[in-house]
Each structure stands twice: as structure tokens, then as C-alpha cells.
Amino acid sequence: MDTLFIITILIVVAALAFDFINGFHDTANAIATSVSTKALKPTHAIILAAGMNFVGALTFTGVAKTISKGIVDPFQLPNGGLVILAALIAGIFWNLLTWYYGIPSSSSHAIIGSIAGAAISAAGFNSIEYAGFLKIIQALVISPIIALSVGFLMMTLFKLIFSNFNLHKTNRGFRLMQIGTAATQAFTHGTNDAQKAMGIITMALIANGYQTSGEVQDWVRLSCAIAMGLGTSVGGWKIIKTVGGKIMKIRPVNGAAADLSSSMIIFGFTWLHLPVSTTHVISSAIMGVGAAHRKKGVKWGTARNIVLTWIVTLPISATVAAIVYQLLVLMF
């Protein structure tokens, strides 16, 4: 059997595995607040998130096109198949490691850093498409800052509007609202995160000569949507505990404000065809909501550890991918 074909099959399998892992790794982001406030039972929340992730994954392809061409040029990348396979292996490794320790790290940072690291290992620093790469990095850096600010403003607005309302009735109303915001958040997660695997498969098909355009094929969209939905159905309970309780004590009004803020940000960047870290956006929105509610109510030690993980993800995943690429070269 042709070596190039084998590598392509391995890439597709690895990309779908990455999407599956991304699903259960990031399930917590969409449903943690609704589970922690008892707006939804855990099983119901996961079913809702799985379904909405699947629908969201089928809806857009702009982010996939950015991933497939924005970091490296798949038409010019030497050993493109091995570069992409190395990136996927490194991304999967980092996702599983952080999931095991219950750390809500960024799948987006992991895969983008991995692609860059493997490409540099294969063809040097000139292999990076710096205009597109820096645009993606800017989106990853700016989006949590915007989410923090919007979360703060959203919670401040809620406080002004509902300050004189009956607490019991208000909490009951916001619990009902959280069902909708959790569904919206899961949908926006699918519109952005599932497209990263679509973009990687498309990049591999171009690099290995199986297609000549950057269009995402229907079978790629459907398979990635199914993988994301199945992964979401597994659930990531360790990360749910961190996002849903270790950043701050979340009440229904806080959860609704955080969910609404983060889903607006994620969908906005999806509309701009830019990948963002749903983990970063949602965690930052929760921090912003917490700061507006009561600054001392935010567990800043947990928040600091999350931010440190965000910072180290890019260089670590890039380094791991560079090493994996050299090992794959020896094998193939």
C-alpha cells in the first residue's frame, strides 16, 4: 500500500480522535455553569451539549479554511503529511494530559502550537505563514480579554436590572434561562472548535495531493461533527468541577451572565473566520462575572493556574510536535 495513502488515513483517524477528545475535554465549558447551579442535571446537560455541538459543527466552515491555510501553506510544505500527523499526536498528548489533571487548557492553543512546531522542525522558521499565524495568535490573545470585559459588563447590567427583584423568583428564572444559554454555548463551541479538525484534514488532503482547493468536503464536515458530538457525550467531569466551582461559587444569575457573554464572543470570532479557545473565553467570562459580583468571590489562585497553563500550552505543544516529527521521519 502507498505510504502517502497510509499517512493520510492515519491523519484522518488522528484528527477525528483529536475532535473526539476535544469534545469531552471541552464539554465542561458549555455545561459547567448550568450543572453547578442545578439548572440542568448532568446527563441532560451532556445530551444537550452533544446535540448542539453536532449542529454547530455542521453550520460553518470559515474557521476550517483559516486553519488549513493560515498557519502554513499546505501546497508548499515539505513532508506535509508527517508534519500534520506529528501536530495531531502532540495536540492529543497535551489534551489528554491536561484532562487527566482536570486543567481547562486550550485545545486551540495546543493544535496551533503543534502545527507551528512540527512545520519549523520540518522546514525551518520560514515555513510559517506569519501574516495568518499572527492573526490567529492575536485572536487567541484578545478574545479572553474581551470575554473578561463583557462578562464584567453583563453581570453589572444584570445587577442593575434585577437588584430589587425577589431573589427566589429571580434564581428560578435564571435557571430556566441557563438551559437556553447552555444550548447556545454548546452550539457556538461546535461552530468554532470542530472546524479545527476539519481544517487539519483539509490541509492534509491538499498537502498529500488528494485535493487542490481549500474547500472543506462534506464527508469531512460530517465526520468531524459526529466525532465532536460523540466526544461531548462522554463528558469531562474533572474539568466541569474546575470551571463550575473552583473559579468562583456560581449562582444562576452568574451562570447565565457568563454563558451569554462567552457565547457572544465565540460566535463573533466564528463569524470573522478566526479560531479562538472556547476554554479561555468561557473561563475569562466567569472571572469577569465574578469580579463584577464580588472581587473576593473569585478564587484568583485557581484563575492564576489556569492562565499559566494557557501561557505554556503553545511552547510545550510546539516542542512536543517538533520531537514527534523527527521520530516519524525515522519511521517513514
In tens, the pLDDT along 93-144 reads 998 888 787 776 778 889 999 999 999 999 999 999 999 999 999 998 899 8
40 Cβ neighbours under 8 A, 6+ residues apart? 31, 34, 48, 178, 179, 182
Q: Are 181 and 158 in contact (CB under 8 A)?
A: no
| Helix residue ranges per DSSP H, the chain | 3-36, 42-59, 62-70, 80-100, 107-123, 130-162, 167-207, 218-234, 237-241, 252-271, 278-293, 300-331
Write down the pLDDT at residue 298: 65
Q: How many CA atoms lie within 13 A of 69 on its CB side?
A: 12
| Grid cell at residue 88 | 495531531
Write down the pLDDT at residue 84: 94
Confidence of residue 306 (pLDDT cuts 50, 70, 90): low
Write down the pLDDT at residue 21: 87
Mean predicted confidence (pLDDT) in 174-189: 89
Higher pLDDT, 292 or 320: 320
Confidence of residue 3 (pLDDT cuts 50, 70, 90): confident
Instruction: Indicate the average pLDDT of the chain.
Output: 85
* Whether the predicted pLDDT of 200 surpasses 60: yes
In tens, the pLDDT along 252-304 reads 888 888 889 999 999 999 999 999 988 788 888 988 888 887 666 566 666 67
Write down the pLDDT at residue 119: 95
Which single residue is written with the C-alpha cell 463583557? 150
